[in-house]
Structure 1
Amino acid sequence: MHPLWSSCNRRSKITHIHLLGIALLLLLFLASPTTSCKEEEKASLLGFLDGLSQNSGLPTSWQNDTNCCLWDGIICNMDGAVMDISLASIGLEGHISPSLGNLTSLLRLNLSGNSLSGGLPQELLSRNIIVLDVSFNKLNGEFHELQSTPDSEMKVINISSNLFTGHFPSTTLGSMKNLAALNMSNNSFTGEIPSTLCVDKPFFAVLDLGYNQFHGRIPTELGNCSHLRVLKAGQNQLIGTLPAELFNVTSLEHLSFPNNHLQGTLDHVGKLSNLVILDLGWNGLNGKIPDSIGQLKRLQELHLDNNNISGVLPSALSNCSNLTTIILNDNNFLGELKRVNFSTLSNLKFLDLRSNKFTGSIPKSLYSCSNLVALRLSVNNLQGQFSSSISNLRSIRFLSLSYNNFTNITDALQILSKLRTLTLLLIGGNFKNETMPEYDTFHSFENLQGLALNECSLYGHLPNWLAKLKKLRGLVLDNNKLSGPIPTWINSLNLLFYLDISNNNLTGEIPTELMEMPTLKSAHSDPIIFKFPIYMTGGFQYRATSGFHKMLNLGNNKFSGVIPPQIGQLQALLTLNLSFNNFHGDIPPSIGNLRNLQVLDLSYNDLTGPIPSSLERLHFLSRFNISNNDLEGPVPTGGQFSTFPDSSFFGNPKLCSPTLMHHCNSAKATPVSIISTGEYIDKVIIAVTFGMFFGVGALYDQMILSRYIYFG
């Protein structure tokens, strides 16, 4: 380029910037509230104020200043007319007054994130308002009964997360030719999605109908929405197939229909070349993922979990280089994972292939995904030993490889311990009949907070290297063949609050050190928050938090001695299971100090004496079992005891109560029906042990992996 032209262009750009700056200053000046608002405008705003409760969070400026253009949340034009009201998330309560409809220059109204109730005034659907946002309130009524002004200028309507009912508001929206975005999600709308939705709406781009009660088929006329970019209708009751016409809307960037009853295949998905998010999880889709998936170059999230999709993963998936999330769990995929070249997916953060029929080994290309945060390959038919290349996953926080056919637990722990970011490790259901490594020959899992090595039939003792896991909060070793006592170093795990070592061959007495666990002694009963990067259903958001309660499960071992009275110190416990052991002596009255306890199982021991009356203080106790001991005396009647079934007391012929076969006033004991040990194990172990936080089998893995969340 000639220097003269270059110099002219630079001067032109500088002049353009200066002019733009002046124009912006003029615009701000013209829109600033330098003039007093009109009296009729002020009166309309005060009418709105009158409809609010006295506890509302309106700023004091609404009461101290006479010029309403100076009130917080109010913007006036140069004529002193209100054109913008923005009062989001300030604690407003009460009703929305129809007086706001008298603001003839009002263009934008944002009352979202408050606690407003009642209906939406008809007057707010005037032809002047461009943006209406009343989302996240408690508004109700049938929105379809409202009538909009002919030739309405409305462009954006957000009424999501309220209590609206009734059918789709076709009539209300009919005259809104300029409508560009409509969000009706998270209400209780019913009926079918109308076929006339896109008629005379050339700018219509966003439609969100999720979390309602819409039924019927997806109308084929949605294919006429030629400018539609976002289409969401998850968590409804829609049936049928995705209409072929819908795949002609090539402008679509976000297509989301999770948790419906849709069927059919994905044969035409390759047409949606602009797609960024595809979420069709929790439906009844079948067939295969077509090779045309590779044409979706912009695709970032793929959610097809909990369908009936089968076949192998297409190698064309490697072409979707922008993918950050692949969720394909609970389908019927088969074959080897090495068909996909994961090295091209450098942006991948979440990969969930749980509960399919994949075979072979973990492909080496997967280890090149250095940004991977969560990887779940559990409940498949993978095999072999772990590769040292797994250490390349330097961002991994959640890793679930449980219920496959992996071998060599010693090498596996040596390799996995090098993952410094690892927070939760689930590798149970592998390493069958191997020996638990006892001494620390590997790194210390410095950030590990949850470890599951359950259902491996491992021999050995509780290993000493566990004492080095100072950040450990959950430890699950149930359904192994571990023997020996509980080591005294157990109280050095200061953060541990969830311990399941049930269904082993552990022996000895309960050590006093176990009664010194800091997180179990705390009287603060709120659940500790786990924030693991976990995902389950297509409708749930990432990075939500979930609490899991504090539990001590020593059931089905060979522990002996008495239940230590110091157990009453563990006042934060919500679940205590000591069943199927050899404990003898009395039930400590100090258990009555565990005021937060919800589950107490002392069944199948050799306990004697009465049921302590102090247990009546356990007002949150919902499951209680002391069956098959040698207890005696009357069953308490206070507290929760009237809610427990007779089966909670069976196998104690010296117990008596009005509901048991042995009445307290009878001279002779009536024989009590005792269920078999095997039958009782089926009922108790499955219902109690398997149902807990780190339960056994696929239920366990699915329960923990409830959503992608972070644990801090």
Structure 2
Amino acid sequence: MAFTGFAITVLLLSLASDARPCSDHEKSSLLRFITGLSLDGGLAMSWRRNGTASCCSWEGIACDGDGAVIEVSLPGRGLQGSISPALGDLTGLRCLNLSHNSLSGGLPSELLASNIIVVLDVSFNQLSRVLQQEDLSSSVPDHRPSLQVLNISSNLFTGEFPSIVWENKSNLVVLNASNNSFQGWMPSSFCISSPFFAELDLSYNQFSGSISPGLGNCSALVVLKAGHNQLSGALPDELFNVSSLEHLAFPNNYLYGALDSVINLRNLAILDLGGNMLNGKIPDSIGKLKRLEEFHLDNNDMSGELTKVNFSTLINLKKLDLLCNNFTGTIPESLYFCSNLNALRLSFNNLHGQLSPRIVNLKSLTFLSLGYNNFTNITNALHVLKDCKNLIVLSVRGSYKASCSLSGKIPLWLSKLKKLEMLVLPNNKLTGPIPAWIKSLKSLFYLDISYNNLAGEIPTSLMEMPMLTTNHLDPRYRTASAFPKVLNLANNNLTGVIPREIGQLKWIDILDLSSNSSSGEIPQQFGSLINLQVLDLSNNHLTGAIPSDLNKLHLLSAFNISNNDLEGPIPTGGQFSTFTKSSFGGNPKLCGIIIDRPCGSTGAHPVPMLSTKQTGRRVAFAIAFGTFFGLGVLYDQIVFSRYFG
């Protein structure tokens, strides 16, 4: 979409010239447009400064050699107000780009039905008035319009999608109406009017019903996206005859049926059918899709022996996502021929066996998630993975049978994965101290080693983790900018005091030290963690008062210090006014309104301790941290989508 519009714009600009001044009529139309805005981003002042010159020299305006305005390009200028129909009086206008502003109201029919405009982009605004069929019909000229690219995505349009938007537009190539609230049946007859129609994006709307077989008539269709709607039924057989398709995406709908016919789409580069109700097996001849780069079948009801699927010819495959299905067998050896594979997610299936040493052939592999299967010999698996030098995200959460938990110390070879950003090893039998070398993983921002048997004190070296102490704005750290920075040491056997150096973790979002044996006071330095959103210190042996500096944590939304031996008044105001009684339970020496124990009262009953520490662990974990550390599938989904979406 962006490339197509850009290419057309470049063509127009190549013809542009300010050799002749624009007419008074053109200047008047532009001034009426800018006057009709409630906020103009300084354009009115800019244009007035050049008022005596030709409007062809105004910011965002381009003209042809005859002085006719052919382009108005004002994206991201902070414009507010309605779009004036006066722009429709620009008789030479070929390209109008008002995207990424805050424009509201309706899209003037004079623009949508123009027989001159080639590119119309009003995406990422707040346009909300329903596109009325009758309004548009009255404005359609006798001769067919030239519109090729229409982008009305990311607005507030509602109602049924009017057919007049594409009818009588014989040159339409690209239509993007995604991220609105359109309802009713998904439109499908684009190709009847426009034989060159190539790209359709209706994602993130409320379309319902089945997918029309009419799309099978679009012989030039390259991109078809309608994910995140309420579409149901089977994918029509006619769709698999559109051999030109390169990108087919219907994720998160209610589609069912088998995928046997997908092998007819030999030009497919991206196939995303995740989040539906598809069943059956992956076609045996899937290897015929040799151009396939992304293959998403996550969250379906697919089954069959994955071992039998031959992936070896998919040499362009970069992402394979089979999360949450019913696949059985072992990881196919044929996958290790996919040398460009950088993301592999097989979590939540019924796979077994061991990880093959041949995985090291995947030199580009950066994301690996094997969670919640029935693999054996996790120790061998981690030994094999030590040679996957480019791993950034490694998740083996719940991957292995209980008798195959990872035991012993945290493997030293992990220190060699210098690009590692996320390390998730909970629910194992790791022992020994937390190694100081973890701070040498300069890209690591998500560390979860909870529910193990780690012992010793919390090392001060953890407080020197570069990604948690410094704000990295480098675009190379895109995972870290999209996902919370986490340190989770919960449910181990850690002892000693919480280091005062904890205040160095100024960029941490989530900190969980619960269910250990930490003692001493809560350090005042917690008040320096200004980005902290979740803090759990429950089920320890902490003493003393709750530091008043915690009131400085204005982003703190989940807080739990229950089941310690804290005393004194609970701070008031700030975020403390949002926490519930359960955040402080099991501390009989605390007082405050929130726990119904006024400070200074001698007759109040102490807050009862929970029956066992284990019960406290479960309650604290469920209440305070369900959002962040609950279901493994949610965790996996967020990481994958944010990193590779």
- Do they superpose with TM above 0.5? yes
Tell whether the 8 Å contact from 1:661 to 1:672 is kept in structure 2 after alignment. no
Query: Cα–Cα, structure 1 residues 421 and 517, in superposed 2: closer, same or farther, change >3 Å?
Result: closer
Matches within 5 A, 1:344-355: 344-355=313-324
Which of 607, 616, 621 is the aligned partner of 1:685?
A: 621
Displacement after TM superposition at 1:147 (Å): 4.5
1:423-444 C-alpha deviation (Å, 9 max, x unpaired) = 322233234356xxxxxxxxxx
Aligned residue for 1:117? 80
Q: Which amino acid aligns with 1:153?
A: I
Tell whether the 8 Å contact from 1:136 to 1:160 is kept in structure 2 after alignment. yes
Aligned residue for 1:159? 122
Tell whether the 8 Å contact from 1:30 to 1:78 is kept in structure 2 after alignment. yes
Tell whether the 8 Å contact from 1:525 to 1:596 is kept in structure 2 after alignment. no
Matches within 5 A, 1:452-491: 457-491=405-439
Displacement after TM superposition at 1:62 (Å): 6.2
Matches within 5 A, 1:598-677: 598-677=533-612
Which of 168, 174, 184 is the aligned partner of 1:216?
A: 184
Aligned residue for 1:329? 298
Displacement after TM superposition at 1:211 (Å): 0.8
Aligned residue for 1:283? 253
Aligned residue for 2:198? 229
Tell whether the 8 Å contact from 1:281 to 1:304 is kept in structure 2 after alignment. yes
1:20-46 C-alpha deviation (Å, 9 max, x unpaired) = xxxxxxx99996444455566556666
Tell whether the 8 Å contact from 1:609 to 1:631 is kept in structure 2 after alignment. yes
Aligned residue for 2:157? 189
Query: Cα–Cα, structure 1 residues 640 and 562, in superposed 2: closer, same or farther, change >3 Å?
Result: same
Tell whether the 8 Å contact from 1:226 to 1:251 is kept in structure 2 after alignment. no
Tell whether the 8 Å contact from 1:61 to 1:72 is kept in structure 2 after alignment. no
Displacement after TM superposition at 1:580 (Å): 1.5
Aligned residue for 1:55? 42
| Aligned-partner Cα distance in 2 for 1:30–1:404 | 60
Which of 48, 68, 71 is the aligned partner of 1:82?
A: 68
1:36-86 C-alpha deviation (Å, 9 max, x unpaired) = 55566556666667777573499799639845555665554454x22323x
Displacement after TM superposition at 1:352 (Å): 1.1
Q: Which amino acid aligns with 1:83?
A: V
Higher mean Cα deviation, 121-130 or 312-321?
A: 121-130
Q: Which amino acid aligns with 1:115?
A: G
Tell whether the 8 Å contact from 1:577 to 1:600 is kept in structure 2 after alignment. yes
Structure 2 gaps of 5+ residues are: 1-11
Higher mean Cα deviation, 614-623 or 250-259?
A: 614-623
Matches within 5 A, 1:134-533: 134-143=98-107, 146-147=109-110, 152-174=115-137, 175=140, 177-178=144-145, 179-219=147-187, 221-222=189-190, 224-225=192-193, 227=195, 228-268=197-237, 269-289=239-259, 291-433=260-402, 457-522=405-470, 524=471, 530-531=477-478
Displacement after TM superposition at 1:311 (Å): 0.4
Displacement after TM superposition at 1:151 (Å): 7.8
Displacement after TM superposition at 1:384 (Å): 1.6
**SS across alignment from 2:526:** helix
| Aligned-partner Cα distance in 2 for 1:591–1:31 | 60
| Aligned-partner Cα distance in 2 for 1:28–1:580 | 65
Displacement after TM superposition at 1:281 (Å): 0.6
Tell whether the 8 Å contact from 1:616 to 1:641 is kept in structure 2 after alignment. yes
1:592-613 C-alpha deviation (Å, 9 max, x unpaired) = 3333333222222222232233
| Aligned-partner Cα distance in 2 for 1:70–1:578 | 62
Q: Does 1:580 align with 2:528?
A: no
Q: Which amino acid aligns with 1:531?
A: R
1:470-521 C-alpha deviation (Å, 9 max, x unpaired) = 4444332222122222234444445544332221222222234334444444
Displacement after TM superposition at 1:288 (Å): 0.9
TM normalised by structure 1 equals: 0.79
Number of equivalenced pairs:
623
**SS across alignment from 2:257:** coil
**SS across alignment from 2:170:** coil
TM normalised by structure 2 equals: 0.86
| Aligned-partner Cα distance in 1 for 2:13–2:416 | 62
Query: Cα–Cα, structure 1 residues 273 and 579, in superposed 2: closer, same or farther, change >3 Å?
Result: same
| Aligned-partner Cα distance in 1 for 2:113–2:566 | 79
| Aligned-partner Cα distance in 1 for 2:431–2:315 | 45
Displacement after TM superposition at 1:172 (Å): 4.7
Query: Cα–Cα, structure 1 residues 216 and 665, in superposed 2: closer, same or farther, change >3 Å?
Result: same
Query: Cα–Cα, structure 1 residues 708 and 169, in superposed 2: closer, same or farther, change >3 Å?
Result: farther
Q: Which amino acid aligns with 1:513?
A: S
Q: Does 1:132 align with 2:85?
A: no
| Aligned-partner Cα distance in 2 for 1:604–1:237 | 46
Query: Cα–Cα, structure 1 residues 318 and 54, in superposed 2: closer, same or farther, change >3 Å?
Result: closer
Aligned residue for 1:551? 486
Higher mean Cα deviation, 600-609 or 348-357?
A: 600-609
Higher mean Cα deviation, 373-382 or 164-173?
A: 164-173
**SS across alignment from 1:343:** coil
| Aligned-partner Cα distance in 1 for 2:425–2:534 | 20
**SS across alignment from 1:475:** strand
Query: Cα–Cα, structure 1 residues 419 and 263, in superposed 2: closer, same or farther, change >3 Å?
Result: same
Q: Which amino acid aligns with 2:568?
A: G
Aligned residue for 2:9? none
Structure 1 gaps of 5+ residues are: 1-26, 86-108, 435-455, 533-544
Query: Cα–Cα, structure 1 residues 247 and 679, in superposed 2: closer, same or farther, change >3 Å?
Result: farther
1:241-276 C-alpha deviation (Å, 9 max, x unpaired) = 012233233332222110011111124132222222
Displacement after TM superposition at 1:298 (Å): 1.8
| Aligned-partner Cα distance in 1 for 2:57–2:585 | 74
| Aligned-partner Cα distance in 2 for 1:242–1:659 | 54
| Aligned-partner Cα distance in 1 for 2:46–2:604 | 74
Aligned residue for 2:529? 594
**SS across alignment from 2:235:** coil
**SS across alignment from 1:166:** coil
| Aligned-partner Cα distance in 2 for 1:196–1:622 | 48
Displacement after TM superposition at 1:215 (Å): 0.8
Query: Cα–Cα, structure 1 residues 260 and 662, in superposed 2: closer, same or farther, change >3 Å?
Result: same
| Aligned-partner Cα distance in 1 for 2:557–2:571 | 15
**SS across alignment from 2:600:** coil
Q: Which amino acid aligns with 2:272?
A: H
1:646-698 C-alpha deviation (Å, 9 max, x unpaired) = 111211222222342432232234143444445443332245556447x6632
Larger radius of gyration: 1
Q: Which amino acid aligns with 1:82?
A: A
1:148-176 C-alpha deviation (Å, 9 max, x unpaired) = 69983344432222211122243454315
1:546-601 C-alpha deviation (Å, 9 max, x unpaired) = 43333332222222223333433434333332221222333333333333333222
Query: Cα–Cα, structure 1 residues 463 and 345, in superposed 2: closer, same or farther, change >3 Å?
Result: closer
